[in-house]
A and B are shown apart, each in its own frame.
Chain A
């Protein structure tokens, strides 16, 4: 296994707030890396840094050995890095097929309209939206829109797919279906970097986990390890000492 993505010492400050502080990690070919952490930890900010939406103050990002630090998002797509958004962004005035065609047209392969449309139909088959190819994107349910977002990112033929809370707002059945889709994505050789709050799902899906808290990397390792790490437990469950002090004074 070789390294697909290498993030080293990345920091970003928003005004007075250090949103991301000296974060380093890597993603190998063919693995699913999960990113968890309490709210406000900087997870989406980290995604935005990796795919070029935000510029870093410090640090470096290498994709397949190439330096992509601070490269604009439309550039990294051509290198093989796609992403979905926490709040989905369907191209509402277009049909499902047109949405995915856009992904195929401007992705890694720069396909022409015709081949792009064909590639798009194939992707729609994979995610189970083929029967809704001609419906307008705005008429889909939330589950449909999430699938569309994934399909559109896949149409760019990425090597690494960033999924930002793709399970949020889905019912248990839809979560199961989406998990299958993600497993299928990994099987086809695409690495996945995912943020999730649906903990059971991400812990079971991921090969490894990175935990972020207040912009810093708190822990990294196998899901089993991370979920029993005392620092991680404290980040989620709170400081145990406060309670002790309180009970003392009771």
Chain B
């Protein structure tokens, strides 16, 4: 299969305000694709539209060859599309382990729950140490780890992450990125929205640069990294 997730000319927004003016992306399986762009460019809206939490006004979302544009978010999750949202949205009063178990709530993920839990604990030993701890008492970086872990518990085909390094110390950001690298090596398809352009370009295989609700630049990350157009997409001139 060439493309595992495809987004065709999506237009959407909030209420009266249109944010996306025709976004098209092709995500290849087993690769790490990143979406970058200035604030307000539509990165989070794009992920939300793919997930279905924001209704698409025009365009299509195709997962594994199936048109999922009309499906509600939980149905998309059941088909393996997982979003780790900006701001994490953990269950604050639940423990680490309970949060992870909630990740395996869907029918799809319930079967492999035990195995996946072990895998997540292997990838993130800090979570194993704190398995009974209330999630709201974790540090920022640990919470981000937990959010990712919960995403992994859903047995994703495609894991979408909205902002990984935001608010994290360089050390923690490093650690998370390394685990992301390892996951990619294991064959997981990852779509990453990232604030730090250099990190995004260094880590990913393919890059989309958004500006004002449109794709300004796309290409292999190595090539895009050298382009002045990236700077221009952020700074306008």
Q: Which chain B positions have C-beta within 8 A of A172?
A: 21
B236–A201 touching, CB < 8 Å: yes
Q: Cβ of B235 < 8 Å from any Cβ of A? A: yes
Residue of A nearest to B198 (CB): A243
Among the stretches B48-56, B153-161, B174-182, the one at the interface with A is B174-182
Q: Give the complex CA separation of A26 and B18 in angstroms.
A: 35
Among the stretches A10-18, A116-124, A231-239, the one at the interface with B is A231-239
Among the stretches A71-79, A105-113, A192-200, the one at the interface with B is A192-200
The digit string for A2-29, where 1 denotes a CB below 8 A from any CB of B, is 0000000000000000000000000000
B198: contacting residue among A169, A200, A226, A237, CB under 8 A: A237
Q: Is the interface of A mostly helix, strand, loop or mixed?
A: helix
Q: Give the complex CA separation of A249 and B178 in angstroms.
A: 9
Among the stretches B109-117, B118-126, B132-140, B199-207, the one at the interface with A is B199-207
Q: Give the complex CA separation of A28 and B33 in angstroms.
A: 46
Q: Which chain A positions have C-beta within 8 A of B39?
A: 38-39, 197
Q: Which chain B positions have C-beta within 8 A of A250?
A: 181
Q: Cβ of A247 < 8 Å from any Cβ of B? A: yes
Q: Which chain A positions have C-beta within 8 A of B195?
A: 238
Q: Give the complex CA separation of A171 and B199 in angstroms.
A: 31
A227: contacting residue among B38, B170, B235, CB under 8 A: B235
Q: Which chain B positions have C-beta within 8 A of A53?
A: none
B17–A199 touching, CB < 8 Å: no
Q: Which chain B positions have C-beta within 8 A of A142?
A: 16-17
Q: Given A238-B197, A246-B202, does the pair A227, B237 have CB atoms closer than 8 Å?
A: yes
Q: Cβ of A242 < 8 Å from any Cβ of B? A: yes
Considering only residues 167-202 of chain B, those with a C-beta below 8 Å from chain A are: 170, 173-174, 177-178, 181, 195-199, 201-202
A236–B38 touching, CB < 8 Å: yes
B174–A200 touching, CB < 8 Å: no
A203–B237 touching, CB < 8 Å: yes
B198–A239 touching, CB < 8 Å: yes
Q: Which chain A positions have C-beta within 8 A of B237?
A: 199-200, 203-204, 223-224, 227
Q: Cβ of B230 < 8 Å from any Cβ of A? A: yes
B181–A141 touching, CB < 8 Å: no
A243–B199 touching, CB < 8 Å: yes
A198–B196 touching, CB < 8 Å: no
A200–B236 touching, CB < 8 Å: yes
Q: Cβ of B234 < 8 Å from any Cβ of A? A: yes
Q: Which chain B positions have C-beta within 8 A of A204?
A: 236-237
Known: A197-B38, A203-B236, A245-B174. 20 other contacts (CB 8 A): A169-B18, A197-B40, A199-B211, A199-B235, A199-B236, A199-B237, A223-B236, A228-B231, A236-B38, A237-B198, A237-B234, A238-B195, A238-B196, A238-B197, A239-B170, A242-B170, A242-B196, A243-B198, A243-B201, A247-B202
Point out residues on B near A: beta carbons under 8 Å. 16-18, 21, 38-40, 165, 170, 173-174, 177-178, 181, 195-199, 201-203, 211-212, 230-232, 234-237
